[in-house]
Copies of this chain bind each other. A is one copy, B any other.
Amino acid sequence: METIPILKVGDVLLVSIQVDMHDRLAMRLQDDLTERVVKDRAKGVLVEISSLETVDSFIGRVLGNIAAITRTLSAETIIVGMRPAVAITMVELGLSWSNVRTALTVDKAMEMLQAAAAASGEEPVDVHEEK
């Protein structure tokens, strides 16, 4: 597969990473996601990585970059479903991800986005688009 599909659920973009990402695929995801954040006016980005058994330093950095870039575009990125082994690797690699929020489940991440929107006085994040 050449690209990782980006699913739009209301105001939120959802990406489920299931393949071991080589470097070019990771860069492509970064480009596609930032483009879609602007195009779809997304308020949040959920990157689901429960399938990933390992994360190398490059991929770790790309995920951190995605979070930083989307925040600049006023969309919060939350990494969802990280395995304990991946968390250990991240720390061992010295990737602090100080700006990256994490959640164990998609539902929990959606709640975090709602709470963040409420706290900043914005409209609530739609997880289902009203027509």
Contact = CB atoms under 8 A, between A and B. Distances in A.
A119 interface: no
Interface stretch (A9-17, A54-62, A63-71, A84-92): A9-17
A7 B106 contact: yes
A10 B127 contact: yes
Contacts of A7: 14, 16, 48, 106
B9 A5 contact: no
Contact of A8 (B16, B107, B114, B129): B107
Q: Which of A4, A9, A110 has the most CB of B within 10 A?
A: A9
Given A18-B16, A19-B18, A10 B107 contact: yes
A4 B3 CA distance: 17
A32 interface: no
A20 to B, nearest CB: 8
Given A114-B128, A128-B128, 15 more contacts: A1-B19, A5-B48, A5-B81, A9-B9, A9-B107, A9-B110, A10-B107, A10-B110, A10-B127, A14-B14, A18-B18, A18-B19, A107-B128, A110-B128, A111-B131
A102 interface: no
